A and B are shown apart, each in its own frame.
Chain A
């Protein structure tokens, strides 16, 4: 055949080569591409028997890809070793052509072409056509690989965008959950999918003991995760509790592998988000608790304020003054002076054990009951007994009230008193002698054993001073945690008792405050002084 004819015939084939290239490029995978290529060869050379093999690596074994008949191991002897394209035309053999085509990803394609249907041998034109078709296949395969790489790159890029997007959204979603179980479930789901892990667990450890374990997917064997050859951990500690995330077995299409640096960044990021959420929840609960406490204290302060007297009664022939200075935390100090008529005045001072709304309510109960009993002019010891029973029933076991009451008959100077567990009340005689008045009984509400309260009668003479106080005075502490003390208080009383009642009260309060200095006032200060002209 002349060269011109060859060129002319080949030029007629160009469109068919182009079409073949396009078909090959559209192949779904390598095997399908080979299958399509064998179709092209059959069509071009009218051959029925054609077999294709592949070596994944140049030194690996041949594996059959496409064959009409069963695999015949002896066929492999027709495939020669070559690192370049090799086309061998065989004479009087089972196959007419043996092709070795090294491919760009280090694999090798082997093709054995049987006899043409018309039994003719391969012409020069056939040989050139075959050479061109093999080049078409090689180009299509390269294009296929590039396309696959491009797809893989796009996939990888999209995967990174998904990871970033999920990370941001997870951070937002995690802060929305106020229930820890939901928060942990979400974190486990997200970290598993973001890292392509097979599974993930979260262990909550307290005092070296695993208190709780959660997993994604649910129902997996925790031991399998913990003993996995491929695992990744991240955790944090908060409030003496350790939260430990463990991922197991990173998945790929070719099996499982170990996690990489990006996975470590991702698991750390999720763990930090969970930590931030737990910390936020904790601080939020503290803030709510504080708010509730402040509200409670406001209520207690309001109750206390309402109960305490706005103004003390004027008693002819006497000078009376008192004050209550509440501490920042409301306690249960209480004092009152009640004009009972017929020249009689009741002076009361009390202190509830405990603080807050409970103490304030108990003072309120005492106040209401006291006003009720005072109307009936019942003996103070009996009144104390009734109050004891009432407070005992109305209060929890740790609450009681120290209580002192003195009823003054202003015309005679007689004092009828009961001291129910309160600090000894001081009676400073005009000659400077101090009498401590503690006759009475136990604090109100401590016990209900039927032990009677005992009253006491005293007589106030001209120049005598009755000094009522709560422990906020002697127990006031300075910055060195030293108490003001009973001794200092008594000395102050002795040294300043000549002052008018109001001035005395102002001065003792000032003295105590100066002593306390910058230390916080730990308790209410309540004082009452009655001076007989």
Chain B
């Protein structure tokens, strides 16, 4: 079933910023993983979720996969512009034990 999910990314040095729009489900999660995997040597991934208000656990499992990959190379993932419901979900799922959060992309870039 086709759903509207869009992303765009920008790589600067070893920092990749992916901006997401839409439902982070299996399809959305796979697209994020694919986009991340396109780039070698990324040690900081910033996921801008400003236009994503809904996530399911399959989408989260893809995000965990990325976090694990980054942790293996001492890289880090920073979520930005989190909707309060998503932030709470990520907290309960334990994502912030291995990933960070920032209010904006600019703040994430500085961290």
Using a CB–CB cutoff of 8 Å, the interface residues on chain A facing chain B are 28, 154-155, 158-159, 161-162, 165-166, 169, 189, 192-194, 196-199, 216-221, 224-225, 228, 248-249, 251-253
The residue from B1, B57, B68 contacting A199, defined by CB atoms under 8 A apart: B1
The residue from B26, B53, B54 contacting A251, defined by CB atoms under 8 A apart: B26
Give the distance in Å from the alpha carbon of A192 to the alpha carbon of B58 in the complex: 12
Write the nearest CB–CB distance from B75 to chain A, whole angstroms.
13
Q: Mark B1-27, 1 if CB is under 8 A from A, else 0.
A: 111110000000000000000110111
The residue from A162, A199, A218 contacting B92, defined by CB atoms under 8 A apart: A162
Write the nearest CB–CB distance from A226 to chain B, whole angstroms.
12
Give the distance in Å from the alpha carbon of A198 to the alpha carbon of B23 in the complex: 9
Q: Which residues of chain B come closer than 8 Å to A217, judged between CB atoms?
A: 3-5, 22-23
Question: B54 and A189: CB pair below 8 A?
Answer: yes
Question: A196 and B56: CB pair below 8 A?
Answer: yes
Question: A251 and B58: CB pair below 8 A?
Answer: yes
Question: A162 and B93: CB pair below 8 A?
Answer: yes
Give the distance in Å from the alpha carbon of A116 to the alpha carbon of B93 in the complex: 48
Q: Which residues of chain A come closer than 8 Å to B34, judged between CB atoms?
A: none
Give the distance in Å from the alpha carbon of A225 to the alpha carbon of B1 in the complex: 8
The residue from A158, A165, A194, A198 contacting B94, defined by CB atoms under 8 A apart: A158
Q: Which residues of chain A come closer than 8 Å to B53, judged between CB atoms?
A: 189
The residue from B1, B3, B4, B58 contacting A253, defined by CB atoms under 8 A apart: B58
Interchain pairs with CB closer than 8 A, number: 74
Question: A165 and B54: CB pair below 8 A?
Answer: no
Q: B45-91: which residues lie under 8 A (CB-CB) from chain A? A: 53-58, 61, 64, 68-69, 72, 85, 88-89
Top 3 A-B pairs ranked by shortest CB distance? A251-B26, A217-B3, A193-B56
Which of A28, A193, A218 lies at the interface centre, i.e. has the most chain B CB atoms within 10 A of its CB? A193
The residue from A28, A155, A248 contacting B57, defined by CB atoms under 8 A apart: A155
Question: A253 and B61: CB pair below 8 A?
Answer: yes
Q: Which residues of chain A come closer than 8 Å to B58, judged between CB atoms?
A: 196, 251-253
Q: Mark B82-108, 1 if CB is under 8 A from A, else 0.
A: 000100110011100000000000000
- Give me 21 A-to-B residue pairs in the complex whose CB atoms sit less than 8 angstroms apart, sorted by A's number: A28-B69, A155-B57, A155-B64, A158-B93, A159-B93, A162-B57, A162-B89, A165-B92, A166-B85, A189-B53, A193-B54, A193-B56, A196-B25, A196-B58, A199-B1, A216-B54, A217-B4, A217-B23, A224-B1, A228-B1, A253-B26
From A26, which residue of chain B is reached at the shortest CB distance?
B72
* Known A196-B56, A251-B26; contact A158-B1, beta-carbon cutoff 8 A: no
Question: B93 and A155: CB pair below 8 A?
Answer: yes
Question: A155 and B1: CB pair below 8 A?
Answer: no
Question: A196 and B57: CB pair below 8 A?
Answer: yes
* Given A198-B27, A219-B4, A220-B3: 19 more A-B contacts, CB < 8 Å: A28-B72, A158-B93, A158-B94, A162-B92, A165-B88, A166-B89, A169-B85, A193-B23, A193-B55, A193-B56, A194-B56, A196-B25, A196-B58, A199-B1, A199-B3, A217-B3, A220-B2, A248-B1, A251-B58
Question: A198 and B92: CB pair below 8 A?
Answer: no
Which of B27, B64, B85 lies at the interface centre, i.e. has the most chain A CB atoms within 10 A of its CB? B85
Q: Which residues of chain A come closer than 8 Å to B72, judged between CB atoms?
A: 28
Q: Which residues of chain B come closer than 8 Å to A155, judged between CB atoms?
A: 57, 61, 64, 93
Write the nearest CB–CB distance from A6 to chain B, whole angstroms.
37
From B25, which residue of chain A is reached at the shortest CB distance?
A251
Q: Which residues of chain B come closer than 8 Å to A249, judged between CB atoms?
A: 1
Give the distance in Å from the alpha carbon of A248 to the alpha carbon of B23 in the complex: 15
Q: Which residues of chain A come closer than 8 Å to B89, judged between CB atoms?
A: 162, 166
Give the distance in Å from the alpha carbon of A21 to the alpha carbon of B64 in the complex: 24
Write the nearest CB–CB distance from A283 to chain B, whole angstroms.
28
Give the distance in Å from the alpha carbon of A165 to the alpha carbon of B69 in the complex: 29
Q: Which residues of chain B come closer than 8 Å to A194, judged between CB atoms?
A: 56
Q: Which residues of chain A come closer than 8 Å to B85, judged between CB atoms?
A: 166, 169
Question: B57 and A198: CB pair below 8 A?
Answer: no
Q: Which residues of chain A come closer than 8 Å to B23, judged between CB atoms?
A: 192-193, 216-217
Give the distance in Å from the alpha carbon of A404 to the alpha carbon of B22 in the complex: 74
Give the distance in Å from the alpha carbon of A251 to the alpha carbon of B64 in the complex: 17
Write the nearest CB–CB distance from A181 to chain B, whole angstroms.
16
Give the distance in Å from the alpha carbon of A217 to the alpha carbon of B53 in the complex: 11
* Known A166-B85, A217-B3; contact A154-B26, beta-carbon cutoff 8 A: no
Which of B4, B57, B89 lies at the interface centre, i.e. has the most chain A CB atoms within 10 A of its CB? B57
Give the distance in Å from the alpha carbon of A28 to the alpha carbon of B56 in the complex: 23
Which of A196, A197, A221, A249 lies at the interface centre, i.e. has the most chain B CB atoms within 10 A of its CB? A196
Question: B3 and A28: CB pair below 8 A?
Answer: no
Give the distance in Å from the alpha carbon of A162 to the alpha carbon of B94 in the complex: 11
Give the distance in Å from the alpha carbon of A221 to the alpha carbon of B4 in the complex: 11
Q: Which residues of chain B come closer than 8 Å to A253, judged between CB atoms?
A: 26, 58, 61
Q: Which residues of chain B come closer than 8 Å to A193, judged between CB atoms?
A: 23, 54-56
Q: Which residues of chain B come closer than 8 Å to A192, judged between CB atoms?
A: 23, 54, 56
Write the nearest CB–CB distance from B15 to chain A, whole angstroms.
22
Give the distance in Å from the alpha carbon of A196 to the alpha carbon of B85 in the complex: 16
Which of B5, B58, B64 lies at the interface centre, i.e. has the most chain A CB atoms within 10 A of its CB? B58
Give the distance in Å from the alpha carbon of A423 to the alpha carbon of B54 in the complex: 70
